[in-house]
Amino acid sequence: MAEASLPKVSIIVAAYNSEQTMDECLKSILNLNYPEGFFEIIVMDGGSKDKTVQIAEQYPIKVVSIRLNAPAAYNYAMKITSHPILGFIDADAKVEKDWLRKLVPHLQDPQVAGVSGSIETWNTQNPWAKSIGYELKTRYSRIGKYTGRIATMNLLLKKAVIEEAGGWDENLPSQYDTDLGFRVSQLGYKIAYEPAAVCYHFNRPTIRAFYRQQFQYGKNTLKLYFKHGRLARGDEITDVGMNIQPVLLLADILLFVLSIIPLLRPLWIVSGLVLAAMTVYFVYSAVKVAVKFDDWGALRLVVLYFVRAVAWFVGAASTIISYLRGKGRKTRA
Please check whether residue 107 is in contact with residue 115, taking contact to mean a CB–CB distance below 8 angstroms. Answer: yes
Spatial CA neighbour of 21 closest among 242, 166, 201, 145: 201
For residues 255-261, give the mean pLDDT.
89
- 167 and 259 inside one domain: no
Q: What is the pTM of this model?
A: 0.91
For residue 92, being part of any structural domain is answered with yes
- Cα–Cα dist 51/68, whole Å: 18
DSSP E strand stretches across 128-204: 146-147, 154-158, 190-201
Residue at 220 is within a domain: no
d(CA 91, CA 245): 30
Give yes or no: residues 38 and 161 share one domain.
yes
Contact between 299 and 308 under an 8 Å Cβ cutoff? The reply is no
How is 36-54 classified by DSSP, letter by letter? TTSEEEEEEE---SSSHHH
309-316 mean pLDDT? 94
Strand partners, 146: 192
Q: Are residues 35 and 161 in the same domain?
A: yes
Query: Considering the domain boundaries, does residue 211 fall inside one?
Result: no
- Please enumerate in sequence order all residues whose Cβ is within 8 A of that of 40, keeping only pairs 6 or more positions apart, or say none: 9, 10, 11, 61, 62, 81, 82, 83
Q: What's the average model confidence in pLDDT over 138-158?
A: 91
| Same domain membership, residue 241 and residue 106 | no
Residue 153 covered by a domain = yes
Q: Is residue 212 part of a domain?
A: no
What is the C-alpha separation between 277 and 305, in angstroms, rounded?
A: 13
Final residue belonging to a domain, choices 156, 189, 205: 205
Q: Is there a single domain that holds both residue 74 and residue 178? A: yes
Residues 194 and 252 occupy one common structural domain: no
The domain of 241 spans 230-332
2 or 285, greater pLDDT: 285
What are the tens digits of pLDDT across the range 220-229?
998 999 899 8
Same domain, 79 and 144: yes
**Is the same domain home to 150 and 264?**
no
- Single residue among 139, 171, 205 that ends a domain in this structure: 205
CATH number at residue 56: 3.90.550.10
Q: What average pLDDT does range 142-165 have in this prediction?
A: 93
If asked whether residues 164 and 46 sit together in one domain, one would say: yes
Q: Which of 205, 239, 262 delimits the end of a domain?
A: 205
Supply the pLDDT for residue 329. 42
Do 275 and 320 lie in one domain? The reply is yes
Q: Are residues 139 and 263 in the same domain?
A: no
Q: SS3 for 63? A: strand
**330: confidence class by pLDDT, cuts 50, 70, 90:** very low
Mean pLDDT of 139-154: 90
Partner residues linked to 116 by β-bridges: 155, 193
- The reply to whether 241 and 184 lie within a common domain is no
Residue 318 lies in a domain: yes
Q: Based on the number of CB atoms within 10 Å of its own CB, is 44 exposed (0-12), middle (13-18) or buried (19 or more)? A: buried
Question: For the chain, what is the domain count?
Answer: 2
Does the pLDDT of residue 303 top 90, yes or no? Answer: yes
Q: For residue 146, what pLDDT band results from cuts at 50, 70 and 90?
A: very high
**pLDDT, position 2:** 66
What average pLDDT score do residues 292-306 get? 97
What is the C-alpha to C-alpha distance for residues 314 and 138, in angstroms, rounded to an integer?
Answer: 25
What backbone phi and psi angles, to 5 degrees, belong to 125? -75, -15
pLDDT at 45 over 80: yes
Look at residue 3 in the predicted model and tell me its pLDDT: 77
Q: Would you say residue 216 lies in a domain?
A: no
Position 304 in a domain: yes
Question: How far apart, in whole angstroms, are the C-alpha atoms of residue 80 and residue 77?
Answer: 5
Which residues, at least 6 apart from 240, have a Cβ–Cβ distance to it below 8 Å? 232, 233, 234
Q: Are 131 and 301 in contact (CB under 8 A)?
A: yes
> How many Å apart are CA 198 and CA 154, to the nearest integer?
9
